[in-house]
Chain A
């Protein structure tokens, strides 16, 4: 089987956690696809499987059952070393709590993925990305000197430096006030127009409803 159309294509995605003799299904046979340029939101109550699904498609966790393609690569049975390569080349992560290193400047924080990918020769690209996310003047500022919205922009810049095809955002506006929320979502829109596939896991139904498509999860399954 090949996946030429979707940025991510998953079929029967299942994740089982074993607690003693008991089996806990975090995901039960979820089918999931997203195309380049599309924004998909995932909603549901806490524990419904949003983060697990994000971990699966972000190659941070392994499937118990099912098939998953990131672009043309079948990742379900890849080893850790190969999964790291897939992550570096295809996926950018944005977290609710930003996880910026406080002693690094905005610019240095965004450089981290290039450092790990041994691609620091591409660091000029970071300045372009900062312009794109609206932080052109704040390259040398420390995270503590910026507000939540700006910190999330740095995190988005960090997610973009490896030129990924997919952005995975877990509650990206969860810690932001409404004005910043708007700006961040506007930025996601812009990135989608550039052809990136964007998945947003959120509790915020207002934000989720503005995505191109919304997937609702309950007890590890997709519900309409």
Chain B
């Protein structure tokens, strides 16, 4: 027997109370764990996704440029459009290296309750998507071809040469992309002319993607593009990234505040539980002093009890967070203004260490007061029976 086994046996005396306290720590730590893991994963995935896009500048219709940029990244129905003829003017701007026309529309199947995102592109787009690789087949073979992402192929069981319907017309799968790890996995890519025709938006675009020759001149080129037309917005991806990260930061502050409150409540809960158990054991602690324990022995014993509760809570919380990471990820994604498609919560060793360490620090701090109170109890309390 040693002080740790004694502390564990003391905690086992009130199993329900101890379990509930451990659970409260576990919940707080699992929230912390998810958030730390999410923060690490989010920025990494966000940067990766923007890099994969290959755009330097995105020209979108008038309106909120960030909403439009987000729609391009995420997929969806656009409220406004650009005229196709602007593309030639953009190409003429000095410093513009490549342009690609983009069109997007969606179709909702009310029976299956699912929405298909159709992305209209042409061959110019391939110069932006240099990372694309075809798992099977290749680019469009005719104006009724469709290229699909891997997720679409797997979930809809579509193979090369299969037919799929969009806007009342049949399209033949001419290519299946390898996994990209972003939204492209879930898109149907149609030839741009066909997609604008079937959507009844001929001659219109949702965006024009632009690559520049010299990255250091992005802002100057964006200014020139802005001067060229009045009914469009020109946003550099640097601005989009900055705006999204800004929104994420403000959301993050809110989530951190919630986590901090959860941890504080949990720490006060631990303190209360241990303090209550100290008061309940006043005479027993007095007995321990009478049979030879020092103040430090009692302090250590009570501190160990708090420490064990918090450490166990930290480990259980980390385990719960890992086990429920996909659910937690979905929940957090809903709170974020924009979330990239990859796995956002990656439970690496560092995150586990940080979370458990946090629980341990919480245990050390929450244990000080009850341990101090217990160590200062008078031993004569124990033998006072009158």
Contacts and interface: CB of A to CB of B under 8 A. Distances in A.
A46 B1 contact: no
Given A104-B9, A108-B1, A51 B292 contact: no
Contact of B382 (A88, A92, A99): A99
B10 interface: yes
Given A60-B380, A60-B383, A103 B12 contact: yes
B13 A88 contact: no
Contacts of B9: 101, 103-104, 108
A141 interface: no
Interface string B1-13: 1110010011011
Contact of B385 (A84, A97, A108, A159): A97
Interface stretch (B146-154, B281-289, B306-314, B352-360): B281-289
A174 interface: yes
B348 interface: no
A57 to B, nearest CB: 12
A120 interface: yes
B1 A54 contact: no
B287 A95 contact: yes
B1 A115 contact: yes
B292 A99 contact: no
Nearest to B298: A116
A186 interface: no
A96 B289 CA distance: 16
Given A84-B294, A93-B290, A101-B10, A120 B1 contact: yes
A95 B291 CA distance: 11
Given A87-B292, A108-B1, A116-B293, A170 B385 contact: yes
B98 interface: no
Contacts of A76: none
Nearest to B287: A99
B1 A96 contact: no
A113 B291 contact: yes
B280 interface: no
B384 A111 contact: no
A120 B292 CA distance: 13
A173 B288 CA distance: 21
B97 to A, nearest CB: 75
A56 to B, nearest CB: 10
Interface in A110-127: 111-113, 115-117, 120
Contact of B294 (A51, A108, A116): A116
Nearest to B381: A60
Interface string B295-319: 1010000000000000000000000
- Which bucket holds chain B's interface residue count? 20 to 34
B386 interface: yes
Contacts of B2: 115, 120
A61 interface: yes
A171 B6 CA distance: 28
B379 interface: yes
A55 interface: yes
Contacts of B284: 99, 101
Nearest to A175: B385
A120 B297 CA distance: 15
A61 B286 CA distance: 12
Given A87-B290, A88-B292, A115 B386 contact: no
A104 B380 CA distance: 23
Given A101-B284, A103-B10, A112 B385 contact: no
B380 A113 contact: no
A162 interface: yes
A50 B384 CA distance: 10
Contacts of A103: 9-10, 12-13
Contacts of A58: 290, 383
A19 interface: no
A136 interface: no
Contacts of B1: 104, 108, 111, 115, 120
Contacts of B379: 60
Contacts of B383: 51, 54-55, 58, 60, 93, 95, 170
A61 B385 contact: no
A117 to B, nearest CB: 5
A116 B379 CA distance: 15
Contacts of B295: 80
Interface in A164-199: 170-171, 174
Nearest to A161: B291
B287 A55 contact: no
Nearest to A112: B291
Interface of B: 1-3, 6, 9-10, 12-13, 283-284, 286-295, 297, 378-380, 382-386
25 contacts: A47-B386, A51-B384, A51-B385, A51-B386, A55-B383, A60-B379, A84-B292, A84-B293, A87-B292, A93-B287, A93-B383, A95-B287, A95-B382, A95-B383, A97-B385, A101-B9, A101-B10, A103-B9, A108-B9, A112-B291, A116-B297, A162-B292, A170-B383, A170-B385, A171-B385
Closest 8 CB pairs of A and B: A99-B287, A88-B292, A116-B293, A103-B9, A116-B292, A113-B291, A93-B290, A96-B385
Interface of A: 46-47, 50-51, 54-55, 58, 60-61, 80-81, 84, 87-88, 92-93, 95-97, 99, 101-104, 108, 111-113, 115-117, 120, 158-159, 162, 170-171, 174
